[in-house]
Structures are given as C-alpha cells and as structure tokens.
Amino acid sequence: MAINAGASALGLVSSMPSGPGVISEDLIAEVSAAIPVGITSVLLTSQQNPASIIEQHQKCRTNAIQLCDRLSVITPRELQDAMPGTDIMQVIHVTGQNSIEEAVSIAPFVNAILLDSGNKSLPIKVLGGTGKIHDWKISREIRDRVEVSVYLAGGLTPENVAEAIREVSPFGVDVCNGVRTNGLLDKRKLQKFLEQVNSAT
C-alpha cells in the first residue's frame, strides 16, 4: 500500500522494547525480497552489538539499516566494513540541546541521521513510534550542522507534515502512527500525507 501510494522507502521493524509495527525477521526477509527495484528496504533494529546487527542483516537482507539505539562501540565502522553498500542510518531521539552534539558526533560515521521522538533513558526504552512531535527548532539546527542526509520523524501526520518540512527542511520524512487508524495502515491518511509532502517540497 505504501509503495503504491508513492513512498520511496519501506521500514521493516524488528524486535523493539516498545512501539508498533514489529514483525519477525523471517517476514522482514520475505518482504524485503519482494520490494521493487528503486524502493529502499530499511531494517529497523534495536540491537546495540555490531556482531548481532550484522547477523540480523544477513538474515533480513535489506538495502539499509536504521539503528534505533546507540551502538555499544563508539562508531559503526565495523558495520560499514561488514556490509559494504548497505546504508546506515542512526536515529537521534531529540530530547533537548544535548541531541545536537550527539548528532554532530555520529554524523561522520553514518550515511544518514533520522530525528525522532523517544527516550532511550527510560526503564523500558522508547525508541520510536510515540506519535509525538519534538522540538523542530532543534531538528533544524541539527540539519544545518551535519553533512549527511537528515530525515525527520516523530508525530508527523497529514495535518502537520507540510509545516514540519518547511521548518526543518529535511532530506525526507518518516511516518508510522500518523497514517494508521486503530493500529492499521490507513490508505486515505497515507495518500493525504504524501500529498502534503509533495506540496511542501
């Protein structure tokens, strides 16, 4: 449905401590193999150990990996060496000014950054899928200070995505809850969301 509506990438959510949309690694591999050429398949992982992520990717075979938590090592260079040609995107949970330096420090070692709402410091980590927006002014400052592509997520809906794009000017946007009804993807909301994205770019 998302691809037919005009989405350029499809995020496939593996095991997470919280949040919607989780599917099995077997299903991720099946869906990834069926995605048309030209559409990016993205594995969303909460793993922090590079070896575990490499093993997961070997099973799922997506074009890109979204690191929803910080790695147990300083940089993801081990991932880059083990998975040439696979884009690595680091999620930064925008919680305050400290998120700016976090993004600046990791940017040289990844292909892209995704700015999301969440809090990995809670007893049960919230790594995304909150349906809540964060401070877009901080997101804009991050976008202006890093040299890699910046994607915006976090509480985006058909009603606010155009404003978010105008304020942050991201390379792309990512949506989950904002195009769902009762937990299921809503075709009408998805089409309206993409119409608003196109009108703002």
pLDDT tens figures, 140-159: 999 999 999 999 999 999 99
Q: Does residue 122 carry a pLDDT above 70?
A: no
Q: Does residue 2 carry a pLDDT above 60?
A: yes
Per the document, the length of the chain is 201
Alpha-helical runs (H) found in 90-171: 98-106, 136-145, 161-168
Show the domains of the chain with their CATH numbers. 2-200 (3.20.20.70)
CA-to-CA separations, 181 to 106, 162, 192, in angstroms, rounded = 35, 20, 14
- Measured from the Cβ of residue 20, the count of other Cβ atoms closer than 10 Å reads 15
C-alpha to C-alpha distance for 66 and 91, rounded to whole angstroms: 7
Q: Does residue 4 carry a pLDDT above 90?
A: no
**32-41, 106-115, 128-137: which has the minimum mean pLDDT?**
128-137
